[in-house]
Amino acid sequence: MLLRRAALGFLIGWMIIPAVRAQALCNETTVKVAGPLVSDWNGWSPTLSNTRFQSADAAGLTVAQVQKLKLKWAFGFEGDTIVFAQPSVIGSNLFVGSASGKVHALDTRTGCTHWTFQAESAVRPAIVMVPVGGVHALLFGDRGGSFYSLVAETGRLLWKKKVDDHAGARVTGSAVVHEGVIYIPVASGEETLARRDQYPCCTFRGSVVALRVQDGSQVWKSYMIAEAARKTGAEWGPSGAGVWSAPTVDVKRGRLYVGTGNNYSEPATSTSDAVVALDLKTGRIVWARQTRPGDILNGNCQSKDTCPGPDYDFGASPILEKLEGGRELVLAGQKSGIVYALDPDKDGQIVWEARVGKGGVNGGVQWGMASDGRNLYAATSDVVRRGAAGYDPKQGGGLTALRIRDGEKVWYAAPPPCGNKMGCSPAQSAAVTVIPGVIFSGSLDGHLRAFSTEDGKVLWDFDTVRDFDTMNHVKASGGGVDGPGPVVAGGLVFVGSGYLRTGGMGGNVLLAFAPGE
């Protein structure tokens, strides 16, 4: 009966596909959504300010319980070697994309599958759910630059839009929703395409696209580079300044904050390697605070060592944090290894800056910081490659707590030793997550660790580099933990493991943890 139901789902349109094994299916293939719950983790962060902080009630975990976390279930992504999509948890439902382009709707309690949807390309962003027209819509983009709206209850496609026509365009960052409008960050892979000697580098411009939730119609599109690329000699430019991460919504000021990457080709612009504030209603750029001028890099000039570089993107989402007394700061971590606090009322004026790492092409702050209102927690990559031999097992990583009001270092937790595992690095590139008393940080060595927010001591440690028996009976193993951060909701901790890119340890598993006895 279950196999028949799966085949029927495939025939009636991108829904449940026959690749779902009968043993993995839930008794109910329709998701039940009760409405917003305090324990939800919906999208990149539980709130629009992108603090990646989950309250005690929502987390459902105490410090003592974190120290007793045990593996509850594992789910394998069939055929994948990388897990780069962060799950979203709404009630007892988990929604997650994959490198193969499949979107899975799982039960958080058992890991069984309600339904699976096949997108056209890899789905990296965390999925956002919103109510619309009597159902709930799931919103996400893919590596091909398409954006989707699905019915959360069934996986049926509502609409699909191309957010950028450039061949290299992709959506890697999660979208955010405010008052019926979806704000979508657009980046690209053109930087890599330029490795081809005959490729006409470069024409892509990063952007933010605002669509209506109801039907996907466009409200506005704002490019991070005002003028379109033009040809000068053999090259095109200006180009680049992609937006790799989730935008941050400032309801009070009617602003949207995004971080941008480097330029791909000359001329350099003032909006690359910057924190940019846009008007929520119109997309007009209100201000841009650039911290590294003249950063130009693409695959071709990088291989010839002729790029000005140094590739110091703002790849992590800005954080909007309110301090005691009501003052607010925009906090931004850069691949340079420097964290900045900006004043949103003074056109992004720098209030303080603090170095937390050495920085580099794969260094500094990469995918995401977290804040609990008192401290800002920044994990650093600073991974060092050894050519074909993979990573240097002794260099990289570390976790720093900074006092938000002035940027003073509260503590620093040195990276634990990496060991001699092939492809191992102590680098902590993945986004971090904080709950009261605990900060979770994954590492390229395959470990997920919980640190004390008081002093940085390790409270709990789990090595994901091994084979797992999975709920869906797919052969799965763990590897490096990179990209998305752990999700904590309703007494459970979820993390993906496996990151084959840039010479790391591949894997294809999603893990769920709960406190043991």
Residue 82 CB partners (closer than 8 Å, separation 6+): 99, 498, 499, 500, 501, 506, 507, 508
CB-neighbour burial class of residue 180 (10 A; exposed 0-12, middle 13-18, buried 19+): exposed
Instruction: Identify whether the C-beta of residue 149 lies closer than 8 Å to the C-beta of residue 48.
Output: no
Instruction: Identify whether the C-beta of residue 277 lies closer than 8 Å to the C-beta of residue 286.
Output: yes
| Distance of alpha carbon 209 from alpha carbon 379, whole angstroms | 29
Tell me which H or E stretch contains 401.
strand 399-403
For residue 101, give the nearest of 138, 129, 140 by alpha carbon: 140
| Distance of alpha carbon 265 from alpha carbon 319, whole angstroms | 29
- Residue 7 DSSP code: H
For residue 7, give the nearest of 323, 24, 16, 310 by alpha carbon: 16
For residue 372, give the nearest of 402, 408, 415, 398 by alpha carbon: 402
| Distance of alpha carbon 177 from alpha carbon 120, whole angstroms | 23
Query: Do strands 157-162 and 169-170 pair parallel, antiparallel, or not at all (unpaired)?
Result: unpaired
| Distance of alpha carbon 114 from alpha carbon 111, whole angstroms | 9
For residue 420, the tally of other CB atoms under 10 A from its CB is: 7
Specify the amino acid at residue 249.
Answer: V
pLDDT at 17: 43
Instruction: Identify whether the C-beta of residue 420 lies closer than 8 Å to the C-beta of residue 392.
Output: no
pLDDT at 94: 97
- pLDDT tens, N- to C-terminus, the chain (517 residues): 333 333 333 333 334 444 567 778 998 889 998 777 778 999 999 999 999 999 999 999 999 999 999 999 999 999 999 999 999 999 999 999 999 999 999 999 999 999 999 999 999 999 999 999 889 999 999 999 999 999 999 999 999 999 999 999 999 999 999 999 999 999 999 988 888 878 899 999 999 999 999 999 999 999 999 999 999 887 899 999 999 999 999 999 999 999 999 999 999 999 999 999 999 999 999 999 999 999 999 888 766 677 788 999 999 999 999 998 889 999 999 999 999 999 999 999 999 999 999 999 889 999 999 999 999 999 999 998 876 667 888 899 999 999 999 999 999 999 988 877 777 899 999 999 999 999 999 999 999 999 999 999 999 999 999 999 999 999 999 999 999 999 999 999 999 999 987 778 999 999 999 999 7
pLDDT at 6: 38
pLDDT at 389: 62
| Distance of alpha carbon 185 from alpha carbon 250, whole angstroms | 16
* Core vs surface per residue 196-207: b (16+ CB within 10 A) or e: eeeeebbbbbbb
| Distance of alpha carbon 259 from alpha carbon 246, whole angstroms | 9
Strand, coil or helix: 66:
helix
- Residue 15 DSSP code: S
Tell me which H or E stretch contains 187.
strand 181-188
For residue 76, give the nearest of 16, 21, 4 by alpha carbon: 21
Question: What's the residue count for the chain?
Answer: 517
pLDDT at 304: 67
